[in-house]
Structure 1
Amino acid sequence: MDIEPWLLIVMALVAVLTGFLDSVAGGGGLVMMPALLFAGLPPQLALGTNKSQSIAATTMAFVNYARAGLVDWRKEKWLGLLALVGAATGSLLVQQISTRALELIVPLLLTGVALYVLLSPRMDDTQAHQLLSRKGYAPVAGAIGFYDGFFGPGTGSFFAATQVGLRGEGLTRATAHAKLFNMMTNIASVIVFAAGGKIVWALGLSCAVGAMTGSWIGSRFAVKHGARLIRPLLVVVSLALTARLIWGWFAG
């Protein structure tokens, strides 16, 4: 697929915004996906190309959070691998069936995330009582990984909110671990979509440069400001994604 040079520049600039959002609160995919579709990519090519730039953003964010001492890689790696397997399965499946039904369910899930963030007194950086152990959280990690491979918007929000609510983590550390898991899901999705020939590499690499830039800025802001920055952005992103998906559903 031929891509005009000016379009590469424009999409790279869009990716700066999505990289910032993804590194702080998640949800950049629902800014990037409509942009890729507007650029003329078919849905499956848009999904694959989005993953090729998203992996750059999540990896950059993960590195910054890890350097700040917020990621326990040794203990969390198995959850990351489960998320990877789930994402690979979802990416294989989405290349075979329609995502129409999922587009109706996702707004409800995102509304739940936004309400939880708004109403829960625990969405801050304090540790709380965990309802699920690391092993107990494993099915949740796998399910969110599957969702990310299959569709994707709001994956970072889901990972962060469930780790706060179910594992009792502080919001900044939960966001850091969300980037680890999201990086793993993106690795799986990129491999599967690339094998299926569903990535426009020139566009994906151009967007990756922008996404890494935005992610570097966003993750450093998040480490510095913690829940004061992450909480409001998580609410705004969740509600914005909900509105966008509802609009997309009724618009057909």
Structure 2
Amino acid sequence: MELVFSIETIIMLAGIAFMAGFIDAIAGGGGLITIPALLLAQMPPVLALATNKFQASFGGFAAATTMVRKGKANLSDMKVSIVMCFVGSVVGTVAVLISPPQFLTVIIPCVIAIICVYFLLAPAQSSAEQKPRVSSSTWHFFCVPGLGFYDGYLGPGAGMFYTLCQVTLQGKNLLMATGGAKVLNFTSNIASLIVFIFSGKVVWIVGGAMAVGQIFGGYLGAHTAIKGGHRVIRPIIVIICLAMLGQYVVENWAVMLEWFAAVLQ
């Protein structure tokens, strides 16, 4: 399938990627904006997920390296988590490649809407360290691969989940959890991207333009997060996300109804 995008559309998507990279570095949730934007640009679901991984990897790299340099993530302590996250993401990406296209057309907006509402309503996390609620082996071999699988399969809100789970399950303070989340999120993005590249699903011209926006947004957002900018933008993310999803549903209601009718038969 040959896809053609206007210069205006590509510039708009690059601007959205900048905003998403900034948001993702602070609190996660950038994919709640970029995936609906790609779908609204008439990109098929699998190509949208693949192109989103490509552009998100650049913002993730900028955010993760900033956190490591600032001492907010320790790579030596995360070796096992990084490997298991990589494996989980590869499995999740393979699963999405074999999923029926109509199923993805329906499930992606449904999952994004649910995550979006949760993103808005989730309680603020403690900034103090707490006692871990799970053992290291449970975290490394069950929790992390599960999070990696989700990020490889769909991904919206994965950065938020990485942070949330490190705070609630590992007892990390919010800033260190955010730093670790950026490393894991980058890992699962790269693992997923490798699979998508070999399957030929990345739309390079769109992904490249969005990658530029992600790099600047992720760098600026990571510095904002380190300075304490956590109490921002959740309502804005939700409003933008739901508006784009509403437009997507309007444009694809016939396909969605057809899929639901087939399931109910």
Q: Distance in 1 between matches of 2:29 and 2:123?
A: 15
Structure 2 unmatched runs, 5+: 257-265
Pairing partner for 2:61 from 53, 59, 62: 59
* Conserved 8 A contact 1:164-1:170: yes
1:131 — aligned with what?
133
Query: Shift of residue 36 of structure 1?
Result: 1.1
1:183 — aligned with what?
186
The alignment status of 1:11 with 2:17, answered yes or no, reads no
Q: Distance in 2 between matches of 1:180 and 1:218?
A: 15
1:48 — aligned with what?
50
CA distance 1:104–1:16, shift in 2 (3 Å): closer
1:212 — aligned with what?
215
Q: Distance in 1 between matches of 2:183 and 2:245?
A: 29
CA distance 1:79–1:197, shift in 2 (3 Å): same
Rg (Cα) greater in structure: 2
Query: Shift of residue 135 of structure 1?
Result: 1.9
1:89-139 alpha-carbon deviations (Å, 9 max, x no partner):
111111111344576466556655654424xxxx23211111123322121
Q: Which amino acid aligns with 2:202?
A: I
Q: How does 1:195-206 map to 2 (within 5 A)?
A: 195-206=198-209
The alignment status of 1:117 with 2:120, answered yes or no, reads no
Q: Distance in 2 between matches of 1:179 and 1:79?
A: 13
Structure 1 unmatched runs, 5+: none
2:168 — aligned with what?
165
CA distance 1:114–1:164, shift in 2 (3 Å): farther
CA distance 1:42–1:106, shift in 2 (3 Å): closer
1:70 — aligned with what?
72
RMSD: 2.5
* 3-state SS in 1 of match to 2:127: coil
Query: Shift of residue 186 of structure 1?
Result: 0.5
Query: Shift of residue 80 of structure 1?
Result: 1.6
The alignment status of 1:152 with 2:158, answered yes or no, reads no
CA distance 1:48–1:109, shift in 2 (3 Å): closer
2:230 — aligned with what?
230
Q: Distance in 2 between matches of 1:143 and 1:190?
A: 18
Q: Distance in 1 between matches of 2:7 and 2:115?
A: 38
Query: Shift of residue 195 of structure 1?
Result: 1.0
